[in-house]
Every structure is written in structure tokens, then in C-alpha cells.
Amino acid sequence: MSERKEAWEIRDIMSERGGGAVVRRSLKIVLLFLLACVVTVLLIFFGSAFFFAQRADYAWSPAVSEPTFGKNRPLLLFDEAHHNASTTGFAGRYWPFARLLRADGYRVVRNRDLFTASRLGGVEMLVIANASGAAKPQIFGMNVPLPERGSRSDPAFTAGEIETIAAWVEKGGSLLLIADHAPFGEAAANLSSALGVTMHKGFVEVPGEVSDPLLFSKEDGRLGDHPIVNGDSPSSRVTRVMTFTGQSLSGPDGATVLLRLPDTAVEAVPEGDSLVSRKAGPAQALAFAKGRGRVVVLGEAGMATAQVSRRVRFGMNTPGNDNRQFILNTMHWLSHKL
């Protein structure tokens, strides 16, 4: 009897152990299922957010049939050291811009340092797009909810940097300065002022017209007379440029207005917590010589890239415009090819 009792006890113990293993296995399955559900929900959420977010158009092709530069490729520094909202990395909105310029033969280098004479030494061309006074982290066009220090409208450049850039241009450097609607005009205003350009720092529109996109064409008389617009052949002539909101500009004496705003244009400028409507400046793009150097200033950033927002393409990839050729001509003029 004692042996039989022992056998039963052993069987009961093994049964309990086996039952515990089954419970543990069931618990693991449940936890794995819950984890899979969470991962699926996150993938759907972030995939959907990425799909609808404002981002670079990765399907856009920047192919250039006959690159302007072969062996002697000019060094172009693209600023990414000043909390720039427009960058050239794969997750940046100016990734298509950099692809286009590399396809045309430029050596595009990303700048991560403050501007000094030594940093600009040997640099032939400088592009600054949407510099700002504070960071606003994003991933593929989606804002990341992290605490912010300072304001994006704070000055993006130190007084020393502004002096350095102005001196570099005077000695022969070529600068493309791009500052979009608020807050970017305010952030770049000190630099533009040193170059003789006034940024009006708001959101420009033309009453009674579709202003996003706003059309500048030969037909409406809003394109200036300049090599950037005229090109050097019929195929490089620009006849239609579209901008996507942005701000207005006023240039120094001798500057050519590339994109001319009509007299009816107005600008909504931030003042405190409200927007105040004012008369806009005369231009949304300017070109001029300064010393031995050349400068182009754009008051709108979307025109120079290819983006997608909620499945709508805008920029160089928008059908029916010459934005791509306008940007190529701009860089050719800055590199003294036009």
C-alpha cells in the first residue's frame, strides 16, 4: 500500500508541475499575442503618419541628361548647423534638392559647424535653408514631442558668423539664402539685413488668387529679366514658377526681382499671439552681386525641393511648372555658368 501511495503522490506532483508548465506556456502565448498587437498598432500608426506627413518625395527622379560639371566639380556647403528645418539627409525635406545638384555635378557637403573664415575656406558655394533659433525635432516630417529650448524665431546666426559670411561673399563666394514664412524670416533677418535684404517675416498671399501654389509666369509678368529666368537656351528658359506660401522680400539697390509679387499682395505677420495684415514686399526671390560674390535670396522653401503632403506633390515635382529648371539656373548663375 505504501508503494502505491508513493506512486500516486509522485504522479500528483508531476501533474502539478506539468500543469504549471502549461500555464506558463499559455501566459507566454498571451503576452506574445499582446506584444504583436501593440507592435502592429504602432506600425499602422507610424506608417499612416509617415504616409500623410509632409516629407521628401522619394519617388521623384532628379536625372540630369548632361551634367554641368564633370571633373572640376564645385564644392557646395549645405548648412545644417543652425537648427535648420530643411536638411539634405534621407529624412530631410531637401534630400531631393541635394540629389538634383549632385546629379548636375556639384560636390554637396553637409555643414555641421558654425561659420568661421577657416570653415568657409575653399568653399565656392553656400546654401542656407530655413535656419532657426531653436530645434524642433522631426522624423520623416513628423514632429517629435520633446521639450524645446528657445524659440525658432530667435536669431539663427551669431554676429561673428554674419560678419564672416558677408566678408566671404564680398571676396567672391556665392550664397543661396532661403527663408520661408514665419518663423524663418525672423530667424534669418539679421543675416539678410547684412546683405541688404529685408525679410518681411510673415505669410504672403495675393487676395483673390490661389496663393498656395502661387504662380509666377511670363504671361502674368511676374518673372524678372535675368539669366536665371532666361537661361542660355530655349530648353533652359523658365516660364512658370510656383511657390507655396512663404514670405516677401525687399532687395538692395541693383538687385533683380526674379519672382515679382503684385502690388495687391499682403502679408500676415506674427505680433504676439495674433497675425497683423500688412502690405507685402515686392519680391519672393532676388538676385544680386555683392563685391566679387553673388547672392540669391528665396522667400519660400518648398519651390526648391520635391515634397509630398497628404499624397499631394508640391515643389519641383508639381506638374506644369519649371521649378526644377529655375533651381538649376539659380545654381548655374551662382557658379558663374550663366
**What's the pLDDT tens digit per position in 209-259?**
999 999 999 999 999 999 999 999 999 999 999 999 999 999 999 999 999
Report whether 125 contacts 335 (CB < 8 A): yes
> How much of the chain exceeds pLDDT 90, in percent?
74
Torsion of CA 227, 177, 182, 258, to 10 degrees: -10
Domain edges within the chain: 53-334
Mean pLDDT, the chain, rounded, equals 88
Residues 55-84 pLDDT 10s:
999 999 998 989 999 888 999 999 999 999
Query: Residue 43's pLDDT is what?
Result: 41
Is the CATH number 3.40.50.880 carried by domain 53-334? yes
The answer to whether 248 and 267 are in contact (CB under 8 A) is yes
**pLDDT given at position 52:** 52
Average pLDDT over residues 256-265: 98
Edge-to-edge strands, sheet with 306-309:
55-56, 306-309, 312-315
pLDDT of residue 50: 45
pLDDT in tens, 149-201: 678 999 999 999 999 999 999 999 999 999 999 999 999 999 999 999 999 99
